[in-house]
Amino acid sequence: MARIDRLFTDMLSGHGSDLHLSEGQPPKIRRHGRLVALDHPILTAETMRGYLQEICPAEYWERFLETGDLDFAYALGTVARFRANYFKQSHGMGAVFRTIPAKIKTLDELNLPPVLKTFSLLRSGLVLVTGPTGSGKSTTLAAIIDLINGASSRHILTIEEPIEFVHPAKKSIICQREVGTDVNSFADGLRAAGRQDCDVVLVGEMRDYETISLAVTAATMGSLVFGTLHTNSAVKTVDRIIDVFPSAQQPQIRSMLADSLKGVCAQILLRTADGKGRIACNEILLSNSALSSSIREGKTTNIRNVIQGGKNQGMQLMDDVIQKYLSEKKITGEEAYMKATDKSRFSQAAAPA
């Protein structure tokens, strides 16, 4: 048993989602969105190095010392897995460990909108799950991939950094490739996917021009591509994809995106009113002729109207869901105001009584 495992055990028993380690500070966990210090001594340089090196493969450790950054996954026996991020900072070494649940939850268990199940029925196109770091994008995507894996016979490829949820093969063939270990980059993984007869491709992060370009092209050519972006609304997601291309290429990418984009699920987590948990809040955009026209004509500001007009399809705006949670007293007025897109809509609810 590694010495750091005591910290993981304390985090899990304390219902934490993340473990934060930084030289000169006591270990801290994120519990329901807030950082809380564990009852452990302040981390010295020696202790920190011992914790991090002990659970890190030798070749990874050399890479970390050379580059100052490292991502990998670590398993605490069969109890839990963690996504590890090591980094160097002004006070020495630091690390953050995100808990990866051992069991892949279903969309129903996650209390996510039922319309997300329709993404698993698609045969081609691009589906994006977006939101800030720690909003549960990977968990939502794992649930959708597991639904496909259990219901149909397809070749599913995931390209991740690192591999988080481990998918056992069910009806589908599933191949999980880790960036930095199995493949050099997300772009290289997508390039190779074109030669691997893939039906479904999950791209862990669409963070640069090359990866986004390859993902959109794969979706246009007949694969079902799932990806993530760090955007918090459907409008910003579409703009982000188009803006990454040089202006001369934007008419072409708008046309490709108009044909291939099947859905966007933007996700944030809201602290519950009792302070004992968090609840997912989703903005959902689905493909229809109005969306295709808006993208092709460069009128992305019209996407809000597309969502409002598509409520009977299952579309919804983030602020409308926040309003619903507030009226049901699931969240506080302050939380609604802090997370809303249109602050003026919730300013009165956030004001002290």
How does pLDDT run across 146-181, given as a tens digit for each residue? 999 999 999 999 999 989 899 999 999 999 999 988
The model's pTM is 0.89
At 33-62, the pLDDT tens digits run 899 999 999 999 999 999 999 999 999 999
At 62-98, the pLDDT tens digits run 999 999 999 999 988 888 899 999 999 999 999 999 9
Sheet of 224-229, strands arranged across: 173-178, 155-160, 200-203, 224-229, 125-130, 261-271, 278-286
328 and 336 Cβ atoms separated by less than 8 Å = no
- What is the share, in percent, of the chain residues with pLDDT greater than 70? 99
The Cβ of residue 196 has, within 10 Å, a number of other Cβ atoms equal to 12
pLDDT of residue 110: 95
Reply yes or no on whether the pLDDT at 303 is more than 60: yes
Instruction: Give the angle subtended at the CA of 9 by the CAs of 6 and 11, to the nearest 5°.
Output: 110
For residue 152, give the H/E element and its range.
Answer: none
Helix (H, G, I), strand (E, B) or coil at 284: strand
Query: Strand ranges (DSSP E) for 107-172?
Result: 125-130, 155-160
Reply yes or no on whether the pLDDT at 353 is more than 60: no
Hey, what domains does the chain have and what are their CATH numbers?
A: 5-100 (3.30.450.90), 114-316 (3.40.50.300)
Average pLDDT (215-234) is 96
pLDDT of residue 352: 65
pLDDT of residue 1: 81
Interatomic CA distance for residues 16 and 80, integer angstroms? 12
300 and 238 Cβ atoms separated by less than 8 Å = yes
- The length of the chain in residues reads 353
Rounded-to-5 percentages of helix, strand, coil across the chain: 40, 25, 35
174 and 158 Cβ atoms separated by less than 8 Å = yes
Average pLDDT (239-264) is 96
Q: Which has the closest alpha carbon to 227: 124, 141, 134?
A: 141
Read off the DSSP letter of residue 104.
P
243 and 217 Cβ atoms separated by less than 8 Å = no
- pLDDT-derived band at 348 (thresholds 50, 70, 90) equals confident
Reply yes or no on whether the pLDDT at 28 is more than 70: yes
The Cβ of residue 170 has, within 10 Å, a number of other Cβ atoms equal to 15
Reply yes or no on whether the pLDDT at 224 is more than 80: yes
Read off the DSSP letter of residue 293.
H
Reply yes or no on whether the pLDDT at 134 is more than 90: no
Average pLDDT (324-352) is 91
60 and 180 Cβ atoms separated by less than 8 Å = no
pLDDT of residue 74: 93
The Cβ of residue 168 has, within 10 Å, a number of other Cβ atoms equal to 9
> Mean pLDDT score of the chain, rounded to an integer?
94
Helical ranges in the chain per DSSP H: 5-13, 45-54, 58-67, 137-151, 186-193, 209-220, 234-243, 250-260, 289-296, 303-309, 318-327, 333-339, 347-350
**Beta-ladder partners of 87:** 69, 94
